[in-house]
Amino acid sequence: MQWADEGIVLGVKRHGEANAILELMTRGHGRHLGLVRGGFGSRLKPVLQAGNSVSAIWRARLDEHLGNYTVEGLQLRAAALFAASHAIFGVAHLGALLRLLPERDPHAALHASLETILNRIDDPAAVAPMIARFELQLVAELGFGLDLGQCASTGSTEDLVYVSPKSGRAVSRLAGEPWREKLLRLPAFLQDAAASATSEDIADAFSLTGYFLSRHALEPRGLSFSDARGHFIAAVVRKAPSAA
């Protein structure tokens, strides 16, 4: 068995004295592990860092085997991540999210979104909304997508500012007003990538996405969010403009 693909490093573990178990999010083969011989050696260790993009060839005698990777660096972003704490936490959080996916299950759209995010991760104002939208995308890829296109009560497509925690459907300002304390706030940037995002918007967005991720992906597995998510949100909220 053999295939070649591009992947993004999610994590790496030492195996023996110098080898490594590499975890990639690949474009066509999903989240996939493999052994890299000499992965902790001086030549490959800088390449096998979370956030880097690599070209990979995977070989195994049988498809169900761990297999071996041969890798070459394509875009080495990891060194730049250490300049900003939000970037380090963001990469760790993205890796934890993608581990919710079944291994070797292709998700090309998530790979593309991940690559776009990593290319902007040094900019907290840009990357905070992107990662919130990525969490929504992941919920949808897991089969629990939200319906944010029209009001669940009236069918209106205008002034959608809430989401029902029960149905996962949008609710307009007028229809939701009597129950606003029980509804989740829907920041505009989750629907319109061009919309601005204040610190309050970012906090509300992650409250929304976190609710549905916990409900549909984490709690059924007996899991909770990694500490990296909370640290990332705190870092980007501090750097975002306030509504006031």
Give the model confidence (pLDDT) of 195-237 as tens digits: 999 999 999 999 999 999 999 999 999 999 999 999 999 999 9
Q: Domain for residue 13, yes or no?
A: yes
Q: Domain for residue 161, yes or no?
A: no
**pTM reported for the whole predicted model:** 0.95
Specify whether 216 is located in the same domain as 193: yes
Does residue 2 surpass a pLDDT of 80? yes
Does residue 155 surpass a pLDDT of 90? yes
> pLDDT band at residue 104, thresholds of 50, 70 and 90?
very high
Average pLDDT of 57-77? 96
Counting the structural domains of the chain, the total is 2
Specify whether 193 is located in the same domain as 131: yes
Specify whether 134 is located in the same domain as 20: no
Give the per-residue pLDDT at 244.
Answer: 60
Specify whether 112 is located in the same domain as 198: yes
Residue 231: give the domain boundaries: 81-148+186-239
Specify whether 24 is located in the same domain as 141: no
Q: Domain for residue 9, yes or no?
A: yes
Q: Domain for residue 6, yes or no?
A: yes
Q: In the listed set 38, 54, 76, which residue is the last one of a domain according to the structure?
A: 76
Which CATH number covers residue 61?
Answer: 2.40.50.140
Specify whether 48 is located in the same domain as 128: no
Q: Domain for residue 159, yes or no?
A: no
Specify whether 94 is located in the same domain as 121: yes
Q: Domain for residue 170, yes or no?
A: no
Specify whether 28 is located in the same domain as 130: no
Euclidean distance between CA atoms 136 and 232, whole angstroms: 17
Specify whether 92 is located in the same domain as 58: no
Q: Domain for residue 163, yes or no?
A: no
Q: Domain for residue 143, yes or no?
A: yes
Specify whether 110 is located in the same domain as 192: yes
pLDDT tens per residue, range 159-184: 999 999 999 999 999 999 999 999 99
